[in-house]
Structure 1
């Protein structure tokens, strides 16, 4: 049970296992925070997104599209 000057190697191995599991959990566990890519949208893309969401009508979309061109 005790080896080499009274040092208990079994407990030493358990602590190493605890540290490895803890560090693995810290670095490899999925986080609850999602990271979304931020893209700099040009006005045409923003207009398409607003139209797709239904925030603007077809007439407003066409009018704004002509203004952008």
Structure 2
């Protein structure tokens, strides 16, 4: 899974809205450590790995489409 750093702040905001209990630490993203982020988020949200990837990807698509408009 590829997370684009230039829009992580937007994805982070969306995740915080959807899962209000997530902390800044939970949403800390380091380049090249996408899997660690996904595992951390899936544990905190109670979702499966596939679901968390799907959620993040859907936010990326929504944000990128918004950028193109």
TM range (shorter): under 0.3
Question: When you count helix as a share of all residues, which structure comes out higher?
Answer: 2
When the two structures are superposed, what TM-score results if normalisation uses the length of structure 1? 0.27
